[in-house]
């Protein structure tokens, strides 16, 4: 897998010098998609041919049957016309010469035509694939070399699901790599998988309608599909609904879902602003998962919007507009998980405190989780997760009635660790942290499930000082509706200072005196060295 990723990233380097990160992202991911659907089509075509030969059909009969669309689409394979197949593009990587009345075409024109052909043959992809390869800013020589490099990557001959899993992993790898390359803008289309996995682990979306109002490249849906697969569920039990305001990102989402075999009709026929026009206004959702853009100052605001049930959000910050939109979408018994900046937990400016108080009093907040720093390479802003439940009573969703309670989790430090480095997760490099699924994500998820009394819980719930605590609404009201977990969970044993005051003062004083003496000694050495130079 690493070899394949290295090959493809090397391919990306072919265009990196002539295009910006945002431009070559679309070029590369479009080609990755085209290579995958072509390989999958070729593999299925060969399987059909082999099966027909084994059944005694001759070549003429096979030629009549091998292009039956149902034999491909019924196996989750996209139809790929001959002019869009990778073998044809590879053969003409340096361009196609003129033939008779047909003019010569460069490789960019051939790839654009291939994208058109695939979209025409597969209506679910209409308007999705990029047609950007024959533009003046694309170096056609480098593009041809890129096609040649992609010949070394194959996404077939491994079985339908293995090929799809491999392609999905490669696509997510590229999304993450491009998000890092684009810096802050990368956060518009990419949420770190570990953050998404925490949301999915807590909500356990296994059936019904799953919605993301600012879906980016579709990471929430992809992780939902993986969760269902890992728990032996059926992905046909869910319906995906999403909306995205940026055209290029909407296309990424459509391709990403197609690669993972997820029906993407719920993403709408085009991109669009969720606040200006909710494309799913009449649909109530069972699960909502979102990572809205933090603290956006310019958004489509209508003070008469019926979504503002708990108060009109301020014009200069859309955080509580996103939260209220999400709450408005929840069906009875619905669940939601939302990534927010930590400032949303205690802000009282422009009426935000009143909106938060109304939401708390409506008993919709189930849990607040503060995450460790540096999970988002694209922003230094500390982040948290809000979890909402429309029904906290004892029932299908949990054996414990949690009405009038909120679970606070301070997941910055791991209560199972001691010493100075107790933060959850591990550093990928100096700038980015990641969470381990087994050790970190499942641990956090189990705390919530134990608190709720869910069937998936592997232990019973108990408050852990410094880490988690179940708090009544009365206590939250007394704290002026702040939702910062640190206000409620207290101090853990590892953080408690048990050293007697007199001993601590004596120890620190001795250390300070020793530091002064060391400094004085070093000053003397430096002065002596300078005098010798004179």
Pair (205, 350) in one structural domain: yes
Pair (74, 211) in one structural domain: no
- The backbone region for 484, taken as left when phi is positive above 0, alpha when psi lies in -120 to 50, beta otherwise, is beta
Q: Name the token pair of 109.
A: 């024109």
Closest CA to 251 of 269, 238, 230, 227: 269
**358: pLDDT confidence band, cut at 50, 70 and 90?**
very high
Pair (136, 241) in one structural domain: no
Pair (216, 290) in one structural domain: yes
Pair (21, 163) in one structural domain: yes
Q: Mean per-residue pLDDT for 105-110?
A: 96
Listed residues 118, 150, 177: the one ending a domain = 177
| C-alpha dihedral (30, 229, 441, 215), degrees to nearest 10 | 40
Whole-number pLDDT of residue 409? 98
Between CA 187 and CA 93 the distance in angstroms is 34
Lowest-confidence range among 65-69, 167-171, 350-354, 435-439?
A: 167-171
Lowest-confidence range among 110-119, 477-486, 521-530?
A: 521-530
**450: pLDDT confidence band, cut at 50, 70 and 90?**
very high
Q: Mean per-residue pLDDT for 111-138?
A: 92
Pair (221, 137) in one structural domain: no
Listed residues 116, 143, 177: the one ending a domain = 177
Task: Confirm whether 77 is domain-assigned.
Answer: yes
Pair (85, 130) in one structural domain: yes
Whole-number pLDDT of residue 11? 65
Between CA 461 and CA 402 the distance in angstroms is 12
Listed residues 129, 154, 177: the one ending a domain = 177
Task: List Cβ neighbours of 41 (8 Å cut-off, separation of 6 or more).
Answer: 72, 77, 78, 79, 80, 85
Pair (269, 322) in one structural domain: yes
Closest CA to 349 of 319, 370, 324: 319
Q: Does residue 15 register a pLDDT over 80?
A: no
Whole-number pLDDT of residue 90? 94
Pair (314, 431) in one structural domain: yes
Specify the DSSP element, H or E, that contains 325: helix 319-329
Whole-number pLDDT of residue 16? 65
Q: Are 158 and 97 in contact (CB under 8 A)?
A: no
Task: Confirm whether 267 is domain-assigned.
Answer: yes
Q: Does residue 313 register a pLDDT over 50?
A: yes
Lowest-confidence range among 48-57, 264-273, 275-284?
A: 264-273
Whole-number pLDDT of residue 495? 52
Whole-number pLDDT of residue 268? 83
Whole-number pLDDT of residue 152? 72
How far CA 181 is from CA of 21, 34, 192, 194, in Å, comes to 6, 23, 14, 19
Q: What is the pLDDT of residues 501-514, one digit of tens each?
A: 676 677 778 778 77
Q: Is 527 exposed, middle or buried (0-12, 13-18, 19+ CB in 10 A)?
A: exposed
Pair (154, 269) in one structural domain: no
Task: Confirm whether 185 is domain-assigned.
Answer: no
CATH number, position 247: 3.40.50.150
Task: List Cβ neighbours of 526 (8 Å cut-off, separation of 6 or more).
Answer: none
How far CA 335 is from CA of 88, 208, 385, 396, in Å, comes to 48, 11, 13, 13
Lowest-confidence range among 56-65, 166-175, 227-236, 330-339?
A: 166-175
Whole-number pLDDT of residue 191? 84
CATH number, position 85: 1.20.1260.30
For residue 506, the enclosing domain spans 500-534
Q: What is the pLDDT of residues 204-217, one digit of tens each?
A: 999 999 999 999 88
Q: Are 332 and 253 in contact (CB under 8 A)?
A: no
Task: List Cβ neighbours of 11 (8 Å cut-off, separation of 6 or more).
Answer: 28, 146, 149, 150
Torsions phi, psi for 407 (to 5 deg): -95, 120
Q: Are 266 and 240 in contact (CB under 8 A)?
A: yes
Most confident of 27-36, 266-275, 356-365: 356-365
**100: pLDDT confidence band, cut at 50, 70 and 90?**
confident
Task: Confirm whether 23 is domain-assigned.
Answer: yes
Task: Confirm whether 495 is domain-assigned.
Answer: no
Closest CA to 214 of 313, 291, 271, 319: 291
Q: Mean per-residue pLDDT for 517-525?
A: 76
Pair (115, 158) in one structural domain: yes
Q: What is the pLDDT of residues 63-82, one digit of tens each?
A: 999 999 999 988 888 999 99
Lowest-confidence range among 3-17, 231-245, 408-422?
A: 3-17
Whole-number pLDDT of residue 157? 47
Task: List Cβ neighbours of 57 (8 Å cut-off, separation of 6 or more).
Answer: 65
Q: Report the domain count for the chain.
A: 3
What's the per-residue H, E or C state across 37-104? HHHHHHHHHHHHHHHHHHCCCCHHHHHHHCCCCHHHHCCCCCCCCHHHCHHHHHHCCCCECCECCECC
Q: What is the pLDDT of residues 135-158, one digit of tens each?
A: 988 889 888 988 988 887 776 544
Q: Are 280 and 211 in contact (CB under 8 A)?
A: yes
Task: Confirm whether 183 is domain-assigned.
Answer: no
Task: Confirm whether 182 is domain-assigned.
Answer: no
Task: Confirm whether 187 is domain-assigned.
Answer: no
Q: Mean per-residue pLDDT for 95-120?
A: 93
Pair (152, 212) in one structural domain: no
**55: pLDDT confidence band, cut at 50, 70 and 90?**
very high
Average pLDDT, the chain: 87
């Amino acid at each position: 897998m690493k070899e394949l990723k290295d090959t493809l990233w090397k391919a990306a380097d072919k265009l990196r010098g002539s295009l910006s990160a945002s431009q070559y992202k679309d070029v590369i991911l479009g080609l990755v998609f085209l290579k995958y659907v072509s390989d999958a089509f070729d593999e299925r075509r060969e399987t059909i041919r082999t099966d027909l030969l084994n059944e005694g059909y001759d070549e003429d009969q096979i030629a009549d049957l091998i292009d039956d669309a149902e034999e491909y689409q019924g196996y989750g394979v996209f139809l790929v016309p001959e002019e869009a197949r990778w073998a044809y593009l590879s053969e003409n990587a340096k361009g196609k010469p003129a033939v008779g009345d047909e003019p010569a075409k460069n490789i960019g024109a051939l790839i654009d035509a291939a994208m058109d052909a695939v979209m025409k043959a597969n209506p679910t992809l209409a308007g999705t694939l990029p047609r950007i390869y024959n533009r003046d800013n694309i170096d056609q020589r480098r593009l041809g070399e890129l096609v040649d490099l992609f010949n070394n990557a194959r996404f077939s001959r491994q079985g339908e699901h293995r090929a799809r899993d491999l392609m999905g992993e490669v696509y997510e790898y590229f999304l993450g790599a491009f998000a890092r390359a684009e810096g802050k803008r990368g956060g518009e289309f990419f949420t770190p998988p570990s953050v998404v996995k925490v949301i999915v682990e807590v909500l356990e979306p296994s059936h019904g309608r799953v919605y993301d109002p600012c879906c980016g490249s579709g990471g929430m849906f992809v992780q939902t599909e993986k969760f269902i697969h890992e728990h032996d569920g059926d992905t046909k039990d869910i319906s995906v609904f999403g909306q995205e305001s940026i055209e290029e990102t909407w296309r990424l989402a459509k391709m990403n879902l197609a690669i993972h075999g997820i029906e993407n009709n719920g993403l709408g026929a085009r991109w669009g602003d969720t606040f200006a026009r909710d494309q799913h206004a009449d649909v109530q959702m069972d699960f909502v998962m979102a990572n809205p853009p933090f603290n956006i100052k310019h958004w489509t605001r209508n003070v008469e919007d019926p979504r503002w049930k708990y108060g009109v959000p301020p014009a200069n910050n859309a955080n509580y507009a996103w939260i209220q939109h999400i709450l408005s979408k929840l069906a009875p018994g619905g669940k939601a998980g939302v990534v927010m900046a930590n400032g949303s937990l205690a802000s009282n400016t422009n009426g935000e405190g009143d909106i938060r108080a109304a939401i708390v009093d409506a008993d919709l907040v189930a849990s607040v989780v503060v995450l460790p720093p540096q999970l988002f390479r694209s922003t230094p802003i500390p982040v948290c997760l809000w979890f909402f439940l429309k029904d906290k009573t004892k029932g299908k969703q949990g054996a414990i009635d949690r009405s009038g309670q909120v679970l606070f989790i301070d997941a910055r430090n791991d209560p199972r660790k001691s010493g100075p480095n107790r933060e959850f997760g591990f550093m990928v490099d100096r700038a980015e942290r990641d969470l381990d699924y087994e050790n970190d994500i499942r641990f956090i998820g189990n705390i919530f499930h134990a608190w709720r009394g869910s069937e998936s819980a592997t232990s019973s719930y108990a408050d852990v000082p410094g880490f988690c605590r179940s708090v009544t609404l009365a206590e939250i009201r007394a704290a002026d509706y702040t939702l910062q977990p640190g206000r409620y969970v207290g101090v853990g044993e590892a953080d408690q200072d048990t050293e007697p005051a007199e001993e601590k003062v004596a120890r620190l004083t001795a250390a300070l005196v020793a530091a002064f003496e060391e400094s004085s000694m070093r000053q003397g050495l430096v002065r002596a060295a300078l005098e010798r130079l004179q």
